[in-house]
Structure 1
Amino acid sequence: MGRGVVVAMVGTDGSGKSTQARGLVGRLNEAGIPATYLENAGGRPLWNRLARAVGRRDGVHLFGRRAYPVLEATVRWVALARAVAVTRLTGRVGVMDRWTWCQYVIMRARGDRGVGLVRAAYALFPRPDLVCFLAVRPELAQRRVLERGIDTEELAHLTALDAGYRALPEFGSFTLIDGNAAPATVAAALDRAVATVTGRRVTVTGTRRDSPVSKP
């Protein structure tokens, strides 16, 4: 793993990407496999707080339908560049919370223009060594989003995001993880998937070993 390994977690909001990514990094480090958690957030909670502070509804309302996707895509581009640099320079496993596909899917779900331009701007980034899609029922994803208390999501939007991921040309190459399962079961599935690119198995105490990992 001299050049580093990039593992990307993708899926709708509420699928458990952040929680599972952080847990995976902890388990890898405990197993003696140097790993780093890398976030690829677009800054929505920050932009929404800023918008409300000046009397606007949200970030889109503050910056406008054209400027907001540009801002969001730029923030994610910088995060992706950092992720690639960290993994390549340190030789660590970089577990990325979201990847380029997340931006394409959310732009299409919102009806934004410029998806082709964003794809072109992101084309320089290498494909991750492993892409794990956490598949979750939109109803469950919505409940999780509400429970964390940071923001809210409409069921229709989450449904559109899930459909958007499944419509991606690259979706068939993603490793499908059943995110509806108990957290420990999901963790065990991720550990087995990651072992295929690190060459080392991570032991998760007390988790089932029959959790589903499959190609869609």
Structure 2
Amino acid sequence: MSAVRGRFISFEGADGAGKSTQARLLAERLRDAGHTVTLTREPGGSPGAEEIRKLLVEGDPARWSAEAEILLFNAARRDHLERRIAPALAKGHIVISDRFADSTRVYQGVARAELRDLVDRLHALMIGTEPDLTLVVDLDSPTGLSRGLARQSGEDRFEELGASFQARLRAGFRALAEEFPERVKLVDGAGRPEDVAARIWPHVAALL
């Protein structure tokens, strides 16, 4: 008998929306319930992809064109998929990723440039995998931007693109929820983290 494939859940949203916190809280809840969980992130999640992450999230906002970013993200994502995500799914794990391909669809395909067709073609060629469930943590752009900048993480290249860019991100993620309603679920990100987590749980419970 073949092994049971795991479940793949991604978290998405504009910068500062709280998706990283929610990914961690969900992983903790699932582990407490007895599930084996692999919690990971993009860009990154594997040694090679983490090296590429530094190129993408640090430095001057104008460091790369949107086209160059698409290629870098796909290189990182391919390594992440091969070395972390696919092996964990094959073992029956629940994989929770803080961002996946939908980020490239929105950041480079909509917010930075109108390159969605290129993003989709490269995704089909090099990745060919979608999450079983994508949770978009939706928060008003000014609040998200102030949170993102307040972190002072040194990984604020995209936050430094400004308020109008963050507003385009939010609109892009909301549009994805309309485009893929079966997979992408929009979750109100306002309020305490535990309140947002309570809104997320019914979507996860329905998947599992």
- TM-score normalised by the chain length of structure 1: 0.76
Give the corresponding residue for 1:139.
142
Closer, same or farther: CA 112–70 of 1 in aligned 2, 3 Å: farther
Read off the aligned partner of 2:101 and give its amino acid letter: T
Question: What is the CA-CA distance between 1:18 and the residue it aligns to?
Answer: 1.2
> 1:189: which partner in 2?
199
- The corresponding residue for 1:149 is 152
> Corresponding residue for 2:111?
109
The residue number in structure 1 matching 2:37 is: 35
Matched, 1:16 2:26: no
Structure-2 separation of matches of 1:181 and 1:196: 23
Q: Is the 8 A contact 1:83 1:96 kept in 2?
A: no
SS for the counterpart of 1:33 is coil
Is the contact made by 2:70 and 2:119 (CA closer than 8 Å) also made in structure 1? Answer: no
Q: Which consecutive residues of structure 1, in runs of 5 or more, have no partner in the other structure? A: 52-56, 199-216
Give 1:130's match in structure 2, choosing from 129, 133, 141.
133
Identity in percent: 31
Cα distance, 1:102–1:190 mapped onto 2, change above 3 Å: same
Q: Does the residue aligned with 1:3 lie in a helix, a strand or coil? A: coil
Judging changes above 3 Å, is the alpha-carbon distance between structure 1 residues 17 and 83 closer, same or farther for their aligned structure 2 residues? Answer: farther
CA distance in 2, matches of 1:171, 1:27: 26
Alignment-mate amino acid for residue 119 of structure 2 = V
1:1-216 → structure 2 map (5 Å cutoff)? 2-41=4-43, 46-47=54-55, 51=59, 57-58=60-61, 60-61=62-63, 63-64=64-65, 66-107=67-108, 108-111=110-113, 113=115, 115-123=116-124, 124-150=127-153, 151=156, 152-153=159-160, 154-168=162-176, 170-173=179-182, 174-198=184-208
The separation in 2 between residues aligned to 1:145 and 1:45, in whole angstroms, is 17
TM-score by length of 2: 0.79
8 Å contact from structure 2 (residues 74, 123) kept in 1: no
Structure-2 change in CA distance of 1:185 and 1:11 (3 Å) = same
Letter in 2 for 1:193: H
More deviation in 149-158 or 137-146? Answer: 149-158
Residues 53 and 76, structure 2, Cα contact 8 Å, conserved in 1 = no
Which has more radius of gyration? Answer: 1
Residue 174 of structure 2 contacts residue 186 of structure 2 at CA under 8 Å; is this kept in 1?
no
For 2:190, what is the secondary structure of its paired residue? Answer: coil
Task: Provide structure 2 residue ranges, at least 5 long, that are not aligned to the other structure.
Answer: 45-49
Change (3 A) 1:110 1:149: same
Structure 1 residues 50, 7: closer, same or farther in 2, change over 3 A?
closer
Partners of 2:201 and 2:81 in 1: CA distance = 23
- Aligned pair count reads 190
SS in 1 for 2:181: helix
- The letter for the 1-side match of 2:202 is R
